[in-house]
Structure 1
Amino acid sequence: MTRHVMVTGAAGGLGSAIAARFAAAGDRITGVDLREEPLRASVDALASAHGVAVDALTADLSAPEAGSVVDRAWERSGPIDVLVNAAGIWPATPLLDMTAAMWDHVLAINTRAPMLTTVALGRLAVAAGRTASVVNIASGAAVRARPGASHYCTSKAALEMLTRSCSVELGGHGIRVNAVSPGYVAGSSQEVNPVTEEYTAAVSGNALGRIGQPDDVAGAVFFLASPDAAWTTGAVLRVDGGSSAGNPALPVHWAGTTEAQSPR
């Protein structure tokens, strides 16, 4: 069955890969982003590669009316079956340089916008008697703080709880809400969220020994939105090469056992 899938942040590396995974399955795509030209290029590429119906909607997801983009997509292209909240920003702001405006902007895009779009979809789906699936893009930063990212880490920790809260309140209406929590993924938009080579080298260690690719995350999102995950809601799926499991680069902490550690 062809679905209508809406992806925010669809002009970015991760959002475009997620949209492409659904398009490859024949789903109709509505891409949402603030940047009009990259967004149009992204959805046009999907239409050309997969022969699916696409639409592009520009929206400022930091605005209090961010949820209205869901209403626009529903009106233009029909009921939405899957909503993927992939838009996000991660500026580097040392804590002692933080201002209220900087903090609020990150939380507005990374946490408030997914809440508003989920609420908007929930209202429309309930009124129409339809089910739906929401997948939020969280981050390993939800459970691991790092310098310069207090606002980002907080926004993603809040997004994980938002995912669980929405799943509890919407599950009775047949609306599933889950999250994918990626580790470091190559190919994100350097224009919006640049990272240095030094940072990449510092965070690239994991049990599987490679940096994640956008398709790794896209596959997990596709699964959570599929009938194969029909009894899954409120889950946070960590797709991080094992980085949340532990650090394989650490040496064995001691070469043997002390006398007090020896079995008796």
Structure 2
Amino acid sequence: MGEKQLFTVKDKVIAVTGGSSGLGLRMVKVLAEHGARVASIARSHDHVDASYQDRDVLQITGDVTSSQDISAAFDQIEQTLGPLSVVFNNAGVAHKARVLDTTPEMFDHMFAVNVAGAFFVAREAARRMIAQGRGGAIINTTSILGERPQKGAAVYSMTKACVTQMTRALALEFAAHDIRVNALSPGWFPTGINEAELAGPAGSFLKGCNPMRRLGDLSDIDGAVLLLASDASRYMTGSIITIDGGHQL
């Protein structure tokens, strides 16, 4: 199989949660540009730019913390685009707060979206892939903070540690059904969650700590996205791909 075919996602039906902003929006764009039939699931698509909306991307409004929304979104994808091949389980939230300032509401919100939401999206995707008998791929978004926490992000780091371990657990359980479960572990990328912070002294500090002396550009995830969505990763499961410019070193 040639390189062009090996990494192709052409005509694959791919869902991306949290697909209206940040890394999720970048995933949607690169997958659509490479010929995938993409559905973006997000609580709102109001701020997505017009050039992106012109692409044939199915935009679905839904909340990953609602099992009804998850099921309805996958029903719509199957009815409109066809059987699901790949899910990028990317939706996530963060509240920046020291431990003593973290409220029960912050704690519950982060675990509801980042952990429970991710788990039940993966479960619903796997259930449908098993019913189809065609296998598939689930790609979770974790973070380097799941392995290397920092002050002010304790609960967020805890949720991402859960996602990392969930990736391995689901990979083990679903391998018999030819469903691969892997994860992307980004380092510091300016997104809607943190771009204001990274534009200031914190961003300069983190650049200085990075062996490559820069923050991530959204396009830096493209190769890993195509790898995990395509047959190029057909013998990979339970893997965590770190994209951080060497920050953890």
Determine if the TM-score, normalized by the shorter chain, exceeds 0.5.
yes
1:33 corresponds to 2:36: no
SS class of match (1:211): coil
1:195 is aligned to 197
Cα gap change, 1:83 to 1:127, in 2 (>3 Å): same
Q: State whether residues 43 and 55 of structure 1, in contact with CA within 8 Å, keep that contact through their aligned partners in structure 2.
A: no
Report if the CA contact (8 A) 2:64-2:121 is conserved.
no
Instruction: Summarize the alignment of residues 225-240 of structure 1 with structure 2, pairs less than 5 Å apart.
Output: 225-240=229-244
Equivalent in 124, 134, 158 of residue 130 of structure 1: 134
Does residue 26 of structure 2 align to residue 23 of structure 1?
Answer: no
2:197 partner letter: V
Structure 1: gaps of 5 or more residues: 48-52, 246-264
What whole-Å deviation, never above 9, does each CA across 1:26-65 have from its counterpart, x for those lacking one?
11110111123125847514x1xxxxx3210011223354
Q: Aligned residue pairs: how many?
A: 237
Alpha-carbon distance in 2 for matches of 1:151, 1:42:
36
**Whose helix fraction is larger, Structure 1's or Structure 2's?**
2
**Are residue 8 (structure 1) and residue 12 (structure 2) matched?**
no
RMSD: 1.9
From 159, 163, 172, give the equivalent of 2:163: 159
Which whole-Å deviations, capped at 9, do the CAs of 1:84-119 have from their partners, x for residues lacking one? 012211211221122222111101111211111111
Residue identity matched to 1:67: I
Q: Secondary structure at the match of 1:38?
A: coil
Q: Which amino acid aligns with 1:224?
A: L
Unaligned runs of 5+ in 2: 1-9
User: Paired residue for 1:99?
Assistant: 103
Q: 1:218 pairs with 215, 219, 222, which one?
A: 222
The 1:218/1:87 distance shift into structure 2, 3 A limit, reads: farther
C-alpha contact (below 8 Å) 2:39/2:57 kept by paired residues: yes
Q: Give % identity.
A: 29
The answer (yes or no) to whether the contact 2:17–2:41 under 8 Å persists in 1 is yes
Q: Between Structure 1 and Structure 2, whose CA radius of gyration is higher?
A: 1
1:59 match: 62
Structure-2 change in CA distance of 1:12 and 1:119 (3 Å):
same
CA distance in 1, matches of 2:202, 2:116: 28
Give the structure 1 partner of residue 173 of structure 2.
169
CA contact (8 A) 1:11 1:42 kept: no
Q: Deviations over 1:224-264 (max 9, x none)?
A: 1211111000000111001112xxxxxxxxxxxxxxxxxxx
